[in-house]
Amino acid sequence: MLISTHKSPGLIVKGHQFEVPLNHEQPDGTTIHVFARELCASDNADRQAPFIVYLQGGPGFECRPPLTRSGWIKTALKNHRVLLLDQRGTGNSTPLCVQTIANISTVQEQAKYMQHFRADSIVKDAELIRKELIGENKWTILGQSFGGFCAVHYLSAAPQGLQAAMITGGLPPLSGHADQVYKATSKRVLSRNKRFYARYPQDINVVRKIVDYLKSHQVVLPGGTHLTPRVFQQLGMGFGRSTGFESLHYLLEYAFVDGLSGSELSYRFLRGVQNQLPFETNPIYTLLHEAIYCQKECSDWSAHRITQQIPDFAVEREPFYFTGEMIYPWMCIDYKELRPFADLATILAQKSDWPILYNEEVLMNNQVPCAALIYDDDMYVERIFSMETAEKIGNMRVWITNEYDHNGLGVDGSVIFEHLYDLIHGNK
Q: Could you list the active site residues?
A: 145, 353, 406
Bridge partners (DSSP) listed for residue 11: 8, 41
Nearest to 171 by CA among 417, 378, 342, 347: 378
Q: Which residues contact 213 (CB under 8 A, 6 or more apart)?
A: 219, 263, 264, 265
Backbone angles phi, psi at 123, to 5 degrees: -70, -40
Distance, in Å, from the CA atom of 86 to the CA atom of 290, rounded to the nearest integer, reads 20
For residues 336 and 280, the answer to whether their CB atoms sit within 8 Å is yes
Those residues with Cβ within 8 angstroms of residue 117's Cβ, 6 or more apart along the chain or in another chain? 59, 60, 87, 88, 89, 96, 284, 288
Pairing state between β 11-21 and 256-259: unpaired
Give the max Cα distance, the chain. 69
283 alpha carbon, distance to own chain's centre:
12
Give the pairing type, strands 31-41 and 81-86: antiparallel
- Say how far residue 375 (Cα) sits from the centre of its chain: 16
Interatomic CA distance for residues 159 and 163, integer angstroms: 8
Rounded CA separation 366/159 (Å):
8
**Phi, psi torsion values for 311, nearest 5 degrees:** -60, -25
How far apart CA 71 and CA 425 sit, in angstroms, is 20
